[in-house]
Chain A
Amino acid sequence: MFENVGEMVVLFWRALLAMPLAWRQRQKVFEQFFEIGNASLLMVSILSFFVGGVIALQTAPTMVEHGLASTVGGVVGIAICRELAPVIMSILIAGRIGSAMAAEIGSMRVYQEIDALRTMNINPIEYLVMPRLLAIAFALPLLVIFAILVGWLGGASVCMVNHDIRIPFPSFLSTFQNVVRLKDVLNGVFKSFIFAWVIGVVSCHQGLITRGGPRGIGRSVTKAVVNSIVLIVILDYLLTRLLMS
């Protein structure tokens, strides 16, 4: 997995150097942004609502039983915004968008479209990689903010309707307001911003190094998703340590 780390760092650096051309490529950035954001919204809504519901279901009955009902809103709120929304949404986007990036660029590589770009003196990093990186770097944090809100709603809904919990919405909201700070939300959004670059760089890199026809494209897609998820989980731990210190 780590054999290509150097190449990925170089790719990331070259994409950063190409950022001043972002305005010229704004149409492509917008298309990618729409593809990542709009097309993922329904999945993000369903996933985050049920993740919020599950975390409430797993924690609230025990807390209520031990007389800690007043902290349920805070626990659910913190868990979702600091950890669950950024990590789970990033994994979703790695599977949905990272795979698409690797497949698209990989097939362009295999079918010589990237060679054709080079012969026209068009830099594939400026034309293909930079717009995708920029789009995912903006879209994923926005999706995570949306997922946090839907996740809280899911947690609050389960707390209201579940017979073993029965915490009214105003009570959930008041404890939530006492515990969850803007800093906690920004914490999760920052993590997702970093994860977005990881997904983008890993997926585009896998696409660019694709070899060997349709089987090669399949291999690249699998590697892009698996490597992205592994890196997200490792970086999540490191970022959590960093942000807690």
Chain B
Amino acid sequence: MNSLASNQHGVRLQVRGLHKSFDGQEVLKGLDFEVNPGEIFTIMGPSGSGKTVLLKHLIGLEQPDAGDILIEGRPISSPEVMDQYRMAMVFQSGALLNSLTVGENVGLYLSEHRLKAPEEIARIVAEKLEVVGLKDAENKMPSDLSGGMTKRVAIARALVIEPQLILYDEPTSELDPLSAVAVAEEIVRLQERTHLTSLVVTHDRDLAFGVADRIAVINEGRILAIGAPQDVRRDPNRLVQKFLEASFRHPH
């Protein structure tokens, strides 16, 4: 048993009336939702619905025009919150630094902030890579990895921070079905072991319904439906049903 679950617990995330415009075009139109500690909350919606912009607000890469983002009831932008709670993000592309090995990528947070001795960092890196099923991959370069492996290394890098909130941006995009299933299983397994709060942004319906405790469907910057997966499936909103049922059928 590794030490992953030892000092982690999820946090409550609240988003209240979030508005954001770019060049006069409103991308987020008053988003309101709450993510409970230790749950996997999935935000699902078509491309361009504002999902990634929302994530950028959550990690502080964008500032809202109006509204609040709270962790445990306190604004996410306050220095005390940043000091007290840790969050990590798994980017759509994985965003591994191409000039570093897998091991250096995973240990980057610890080595740059000088939080541990090099031997201890090596031990933690090996442990986190084992957690995501990539034992002995330390010396590989990111260019040697498949899409699925890249995502799993990105998850390992996020785990090093020992986050209480982990954000996933389109974790199964550009993956073959088998790799997508492996990443989805990883998300669920991590949540079960660590009880951290997970927020998954995706347009992959299988992933959303497969991993989520609750789901929000957004479109054009507004939440159309929110609730447990079975409730969202039965939601009467026409756009929600259209999104959930959309599939290609060959005309012949």
Contact = CB atoms under 8 A, between A and B. Distances in A.
A4 interface: no
Contact of A119 (B89, B92, B93, B98): B89
B89 A113 contact: no
B145 interface: no
A115 B95 contact: yes
A122 B95 contact: no
Nearest to B154: A116
Contacts of A117: 97
B224 interface: no
A127 B56 CA distance: 21
The number of chain B residues touching the other chain, given as a range, is: 20 to 34
B99 to A, nearest CB: 8
A122 B108 contact: yes
Nearest to B110: A120
Contact of A111 (B60, B95, B109, B112): B95
Given A113-B97, A116-B95, A121 B113 contact: yes
Contacts, number: 46
A50 B110 CA distance: 50
Interface in A76-123: 104, 107-108, 111-113, 115-122
Nearest to A24: B114
Contacts of A112: 91-93, 95
Contacts of A108: 97
A122 B115 CA distance: 13
A115 B109 contact: no
Interface of A: 24, 104, 107-108, 111-113, 115-122, 127
5 contacts: A108-B97, A113-B95, A122-B108, A122-B109, A122-B113
